[in-house]
């Protein structure tokens, strides 16, 4: 009888712990407005209101958030550095997020083809909010709106860069947060 009660208590504890963790994850990850289907898989679509919490997560992970577009030559040139960072820090508390500013109407074909051709393994999402003047300063008051632009943050330690990166410089800036 005692073993059964102990088993039920353990089972109940695991269920409660699992639901608490799921609740935490749901709070940390806002729901996208929709998903677009691409050749490279589903890409979540956010407006800035639903995206903004992704710039303010409070946990032990360091986030590297790159704003880019397939039509931006300097953005495309620096993507291998972000991909290398994603690979190098896989399994560590570092998360690379590529925020595409491509036009939603073109993203289904163009973004998916690009991701597939370039073998993009980092998380990609589409920020579809045409009122950039309303949200650019919310990312950083230093941001003129030019891309590429990158945010590296851990908790409240938040750095903004309006520049291109090579791998060495990107890793150097990341290591300031680790």
3-state secondary structure 76-143: HHHHHHHHHHHHHCCCCCEEEEEEECCCHHHHHHHHHHHHHHCCCCCEEEEECCCCHHHHHHHHCCCC
- Per-residue pLDDT, 94: 98
Distance between CA atoms of residues 133 and 140, nearest Å: 12
3-state helix, strand, coil in the chain (%, to 5): 45, 25, 30
pLDDT at 157: 96
Predicted confidence at residue 19, as pLDDT, reads 43
Q: Where are the domains of the chain?
A: 1-30, 32-175
CATH architecture of the domain covering 32-175: 3-Layer(aba) Sandwich (3.40)
Q: Tell me phi and psi for residue 35, to 5 degrees.
A: -125, 145
Helix (H, G, I), strand (E, B) or coil at 52: helix
pLDDT in tens, the chain (178 residues): 554 444 444 444 444 444 444 433 444 678 988 998 877 789 999 999 999 999 999 999 999 999 999 999 999 999 999 999 999 999 999 999 999 999 998 888 899 899 999 999 999 999 999 999 999 999 999 999 999 999 999 999 999 999 999 999 999 999 999 9
Say what the pLDDT of residue 8 is: 40
Per-residue pLDDT, 39: 75
């Amino acid at each position: 009888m005692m073993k059964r009660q102990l088993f039920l208590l353990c089972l109940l504890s695991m269920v409660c712990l699992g639901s608490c963790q799921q609740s935490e994850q749901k709070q940390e990850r806002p729901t996208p407005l929709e998903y677009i289907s691409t050749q490279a898989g589903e890409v979540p679509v956010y407006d800035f209101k639903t995206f903004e919490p992704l710039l303010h997560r409070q946990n032990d992970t360091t986030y590297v958030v790159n704003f880019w577009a397939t039509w931006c030559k300097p953005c495309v040139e620096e993507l291998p550095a972000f991909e290398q960072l994603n690979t190098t820090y896989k399994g560590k508390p570092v998360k690379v997020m590529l925020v595409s500013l491509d036009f939603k109407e073109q993203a289904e074909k163009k973004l998916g083809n690009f991701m597939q051709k370039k073998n993009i393994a980092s998380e990609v999402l589409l920020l579809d909010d045409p009122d950039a003047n309303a949200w650019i300063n919310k990312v950083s008051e230093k941001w003129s709106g030019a891309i590429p632009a990158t945010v590296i943050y851990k908790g409240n330690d938040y750095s903004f860069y309006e520049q291109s990166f090579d791998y060495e410089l990107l890793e150097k800036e990341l290591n300031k947060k680790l």
